A and B are shown apart, each in its own frame.
Chain A
Amino acid sequence: MSTVPAPEPSPTPTPTDTRSAPAEVVFAASGLHKSYGGIHALQGASIEIRRGEVHGLLGENGSGKSTLLKIVSGQVQPTKGHLALDGLRVAFPDTHSALTAGIVTINQETSLVPDLSVTENVLLGRRLVRRRGGVDWKATHRRAREILERLQLDLDPHRQVWRLRPDQQQMVEIARAVSMDARILILDEPTSSLTDDEVEAVLRVVRQLSEEDVATIFVSHRMKEVFSLVHSVTVLRDGKSVGAGAVEEFDERRLVELMVGKELETPTASEKRHELRGRSVLRLRGMSVAGRLEGVDLDVAAGEIVGLAGLVGAGRSELLSAAFGVEPHATGTVEVDGVAIEQTGPVEAMRRGLAYVPSDRKLLGLVLGMGVKENLVLARNASIARWRTVRSRAEAEQAGALISELGVTATDPSAPVATLSGGNQQKVLFGKWLSTRPKVLLLDEPTRGVDVGAKAEIYRLLTRSREAGLSILISSSETSELLLLCDRVLVMFQGRIVASLAEDAATEARITHLATGGD
């Protein structure tokens, strides 16, 4: 840890600032190490939580945040290091023991039962007031209402949870944590799917809890929230704590620098909207999906690779699937070579020269039980009349050519795709689309879950496709990948493109800064 908050009150406390009042450390994790096989998820991470504080836990994807939280909540055991509660060493061999100690985790996905009432969810599995073998509903609802009132939540205890807004559902989860006498609440990106107003409502409840001496570990990528809410922060990078202290000791720029490990450059002039290289092949105008994508305009020229950066939930995936015409309820116009695509749907999109590689290859990309060969020609042959006989020989030739072209390691082209490694599966997915001879490639997380070697081959493939004149739009969570491949990087935040960075202006720190809501 580079900085530790001073135990004495700061010399010039403002009268309204309650943050500077020091409180004792209620929970500490120190020197945590965790390895999965040869991968070191944590190598010396520490965190200290004081009574009643809101503690921001920051770090990029893969920095070890989730592993740290899993250890704190008893889901995994550290290889090295220890935990202390109220200064006494503790171990959480399972989630139950962490709950008993008052550490309650609320994950990104809600764990509510949609068809049950607010009361039943708040008191789920416990604490229903019983009377003569039945449930005393009057008393039970009263108990739930007490908790809701304590949090100043105006929710009807009788209402079914699925009828609530997402932020209200979050609050029901928080109320449940309170009903378990939580001392430390872990909120893992509680606001990632909420609108601004909803975020504010959740933050208010967290502040309320803080006043009641319930500490919160708050994970968020949005800097604005961090600065308006937290009292102190811990920054993780590569599994280590690289910075910690009271939030006043940091500014936004410093935090981003700690997260990415590089210095943040000041924006330069070339960052202005970049001129197109030649004519636009893919032209998107006013692409919108209610609540997730707000009127995005975008052009990709022939032979250009454009990257989409942004947090998970910033609207990158929605933009790509809307461009391919498979995002339900999307609006906006898609033009290829200056001609608008009138009908939505994959068939029309393919006919007009679009190809779409979705992010989850197992869920959306490949038919795993089918052969490599059949998968490779699946899209290419989709327009042939279905009663026609499969032209096996021509198909084998096409597939063979693609397999050698892409460098797929498959002993037998008829073997199910499921038997291939992740990298080879991804190459098959690419081959499936390249064989349709597209003009535009839409790629969502093209290298997720593939090893380094396969990654390099996919990069080589993309560069070659660009040279052949394809227009490529890539969405990726790996900023370094975008910097390596792209002519331009567009940064998305909350459903909008907030910046267009030319190759020379795009840096990892700059992108992270913009993607977390900075300007």
Chain B
Amino acid sequence: MAVNTRIPGQVGRLGDLIGSVRRAGQTSRFVGVLALLVVMFGFFAVTEGTFLSSGNINQLLTSMAIIFLVSIGMTFVMLSEGFDLSVGATVAFTGIAFGQLFDAAGLTLVPAALCAVAAGTAVGILNGVLIGRSGLSFLVVTLGTSVLIQGVLNLWSEAKTISVTSPTLDTLAFGKLFGIPIPVWIMALVYAGSLYVLRKTYFGRDVYAVGGNADAARLSGIKVVRTIVAVYVIAAFLAALAGILQVARVGAASPLVGATLVFDAAAAVLLGGTSLAGGIGGVTGTMVGVLFLGVLQNGLSVSGVESYWQQVVTGIILIIVVAADRAQREGWSSIGIPLHRRSRRTHDKEPAS
């Protein structure tokens, strides 16, 4: 049938306005967390004089870089309705590989770093092929590779920390460009790049389509396997970059760095409104989630509060956010709070055409 390609003229101003309001509604998944972030930021700014000092803000931002890189990779994976338990091990693995190649094997800095990043990224290829092509469960596969990689790096490093120092690495971790720390530049670049990929390329759209409904995507001719392999490769690549940055910050490669990273990253992504069910969310929300965790940790430590409180607060907020999201979509009674019974019933109905 001939589909004419003229522009529909009568959408008009009102349509545009309604559209922009609707779109705002779609991005509102992290608005609650953003509001909390602003309140928390204001609170620390008022109560602690040192909080707003440029030194502290720079410290806050640079300390976020590693978790940020890992979280962005995790966002790609979760958007495709997956999960990657191996990112923490990949960070540690890349660091140890870097340390061993640079220190023991005698490679120069850049080749060592490139080889280490390639090795880390290979973990993603393994994950992606096993999950996408062989159709194995992502939890089982990434748990398996996580344990496997951790074992390999423990053997390789003999479970010891490897000292890695170089002026170039110091610049990478602590240098500034136009007054802004280099790790912050890296974060900005990765954020802009991932936003572009997800929102402006056909690949990005595939990620949302595969996560939203993999069967529909497949029937529409989208290469689902390739998309799934790609998101795990992206996650591993960003984790590998984080591994190099970690070594640069600490001046050493430790086999232990990855342990809690995966949970922090998952918390940041979920706080940012990306759904575990896939297809919904994005990297802007993840940035808000990472900032939330960063400000909380930094603010509490500036206030002299025991740092473990950060974990307690994060856990509570995470549960509240997930519950509130569900309540907003399906009514309060869906989470066991018998309010607004009526509103739930209206939600169940499909709108009339």
Contact = CB atoms under 8 A, between A and B. Distances in A.
A386 B202 contact: yes
A432 B220 contact: yes
B216 A364 contact: yes
A379 interface: yes
Nearest to B226: A386
B351 interface: yes
Given A363-B215, A366-B213, A454-B353, 7 more contacts: A356-B219, A364-B219, A374-B208, A389-B200, A402-B3, A405-B3, A468-B2
Nearest to B207: A386
A387 interface: yes
A365 B218 CA distance: 10
Nearest to B23: A414
Contact of B219 (A346, A386, A389, A411): A346
A52 interface: no
A7 interface: no
A386 B353 contact: no
A409 B353 contact: yes
Contacts of B341: none
A263 B4 CA distance: 46
Given A386-B203, A468-B2, A369 B212 contact: yes
A337 interface: no
15 contacts: A374-B205, A374-B209, A378-B222, A382-B221, A382-B222, A385-B202, A387-B202, A390-B202, A390-B205, A402-B3, A404-B8, A412-B18, A412-B22, A413-B19, A416-B26
B301 to A, nearest CB: 38
Given A385-B202, A421-B353, A434-B1, A414 B19 contact: yes
A374 B199 CA distance: 11
Interface of A: 324, 326, 346-347, 350, 356, 358, 363-370, 374, 378-379, 381-390, 397-398, 400-405, 409, 411-416, 419-424, 432, 434-435, 437, 451, 453-454, 464-465, 468, 470
A411 B279 CA distance: 22
Given A422-B353, A424-B353, A401 B5 contact: yes
B13 interface: no
A413 B304 CA distance: 51
A414 B25 CA distance: 11
B3 A434 contact: yes
Interface residues of B, number: 41
A370 B11 contact: no
A347 B223 contact: yes
B212 A367 contact: yes
A242 B216 CA distance: 42
Contacts of A437: 3
B3 to A, nearest CB: 6
Given A401-B4, A414-B22, A470-B1, A386 B218 contact: no
Interface in B7-47: 7-8, 11, 15, 18-19, 22-23, 26
B212 A368 contact: yes
A411 B200 CA distance: 23
A412 B19 contact: yes
B206 interface: yes
Interface in B187-227: 200-203, 205-206, 208-209, 212-213, 215-223, 226
Contacts of B223: 347
Contacts of A389: 200-201
A421 B352 contact: yes
A419 B212 contact: no
A387 B201 contact: yes
A470 B3 CA distance: 13
A423 B200 contact: no
Contact of A367 (B202, B209, B353): B209
Contact of B220 (A382, A405, A416): A382
Contact of A370 (B3, B5, B208, B353): B208
